[in-house]
């Protein structure tokens, strides 16, 4: 019995020491699609985790309840507003690492440039060891050639990067490629998030490789990077080897799971781009992104250079979700 008591207390001391060695983390945008997963991953990894509560959410009860659930799980809520510079500075001073997950998707809300206020607060606070801005998709540095109006996403992210680097803020950029919930759920088609059991339309010939990542895995890999010197001032690309598949291969995976062949058709690049006419601005932005992913192949058509590292190679202990595993949820 005494032996068990001693081991128990040694274990508590070890856990406490390990938590002291881990960075304190502030997550901005913690109630969002990726943000809520980052909060969970940070807590799971034993980080002292703070989530920014923005009074601007008003009476959005779902967000408030989500914030309270974070608190129940062990996170700390800290009040701060993009309309109150000092409140951001005060929040930043509580931690070592800031991760932003504010929305950059036009079909939801595009708030990427709000992060410039966060950059100013981080610079003034002067204590941050690492800042991870809201990126998580395609690497904006490789999208200088992107078509209008979709390029606004990448241009805005590059404005934020420039501000970070000019302020000499230590940073890590996360390029997580395609979110599985959107790309797999829609069988690589826009405007669909549940896979059809009847038919599918390919953009182009369907043979261009893309990269899909489970959103929970994105969060796990992201949190792994924050105390890793190998990722300092680098772009981290999340490229799970088994998830580098073409739309045709993704559809074939689905067909195997349901035991049925889908009716397949395709539209050319020219047809796809011409179909943008008459669409809303947000729809056009999304269409441009799908054009570059599905027709141009912008995610997998380059080698990672000296400025980047690959997450699966850095953290082989993370057992990522494969496309086949992910799609079984739709059965």
Span 255-288, pLDDT tens digits: 999 999 999 999 999 999 999 999 999 999 999 9
Catalytic residues: 157
Per-position DSSP letters for 212-252, written without gaps between them = EE-HHHHHHHHHHHTT-GGGTTEEEE---GGGEE-HHHHHH
* 104-105 vs 109-110, strand pairing mode: antiparallel
Residue 108: pLDDT band (50, 70, 90) is low
Q: Half-sphere exposure of 160 toward its Cβ, with a 13 Å CA cutoff?
A: 28
* 244-245 vs 210-213, strand pairing mode: antiparallel
Domains observed in the chain: 1-330 (3.40.50.720)
Which among 101, 89, 168, 155 is positioned nearest to 132, based on CA atoms? 101
Model confidence at 31: pLDDT above 50: yes
pLDDT tens figures, 129-176: 999 999 999 999 999 999 999 999 999 999 999 999 999 999 999 999
Residue 1: pLDDT band (50, 70, 90) is very low
| pLDDT at residue number 272 | 97
Helix (H) or strand (E) holding 270: helix 269-274
**Burial profile 277-296: b = 16 or more Cβ within 10 angstroms, e = fewer:** eeeeeeebbbbbbbbbbbbb
Strands (E), 2-96: 25-28, 49-53, 76-79
Model confidence at 222: pLDDT above 50: yes
Model confidence at 109: pLDDT above 80: no
Q: How large a percentage of the chain has pLDDT more than 70?
A: 92
Rounded to the nearest integer, the mean pLDDT of the chain is 93
Other C-beta atoms lying within 10 Å of the C-beta of residue 8: 10
16-20, 82-86, 231-235, 315-319 — which is least confidently predicted?
16-20
Model confidence at 10: pLDDT above 90: no
Give the separation between CA 74 and CA 46, rounded to whole angstroms. 10
Q: Which two tokens stand for residue 212?
A: 């899909």
């Amino acid at each position: 019995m005494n032996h068990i008591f001693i081991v128990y207390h040694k274990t508590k001391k070890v856990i406490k020491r390990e938590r002291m060695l881990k960075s304190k983390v502030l997550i901005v945008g913690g109630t969002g699609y990726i943000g809520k997963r980052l909060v969970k991953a940070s807590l799971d990894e034993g980080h002292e985790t703070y989530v920014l509560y923005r009074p601007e959410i008003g009476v959005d009860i779902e967000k408030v309840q989500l914030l309270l659930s974070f608190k129940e799980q062990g996170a700390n809520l800290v009040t701060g507003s993009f309309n109150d510079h000092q409140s951001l500075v005060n929040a930043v001073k509580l931690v070592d690492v800031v991760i932003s997950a504010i929305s950059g998707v036009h079909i939801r809300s595009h708030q990427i440039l709000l992060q410039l206020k966060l950059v100013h607060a981080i610079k003034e606070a002067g204590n941050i060891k690492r800042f991870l801005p809201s990126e998580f998709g395609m690497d904006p540095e490789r999208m200088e050639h992107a078509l209008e109006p979709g390029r606004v996403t990448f241009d805005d992210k590059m404005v934020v990067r420039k501000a970070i680097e000019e302020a000499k803020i230590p940073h890590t950029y996360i390029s997580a490629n395609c979110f599985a919930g959107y790309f797999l759920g829609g069988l690589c088609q826009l405007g669909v998030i549940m896979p059809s059991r009847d038919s599918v339309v390919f953009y182009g010939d369907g043979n261009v490789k893309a990269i899909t990542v489970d959103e929970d895995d994105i969060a796990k890999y992201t949190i792994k990077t924050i105390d890793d010197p190998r990722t300092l001032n680098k772009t981290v690309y999340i490229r799970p080897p088994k998830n580098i598949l073409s739309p045709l291969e993704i559809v074939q995976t689905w067909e195997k799971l349901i035991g049925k062949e889908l009716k397949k058709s395709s539209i050319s690049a020219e047809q796809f781009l011409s179909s943008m006419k008459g669409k809303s601005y947000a729809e056009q932005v999304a269409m441009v992104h799908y054009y570059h992913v599905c027709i141009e192949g912008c995610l997998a058509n380059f080698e990672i250079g000296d400025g980047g590292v690959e997450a699966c190679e850095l953290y082989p202990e993370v057992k990522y979700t494969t496309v086949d595993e992910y799609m079984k949820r739709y059965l």
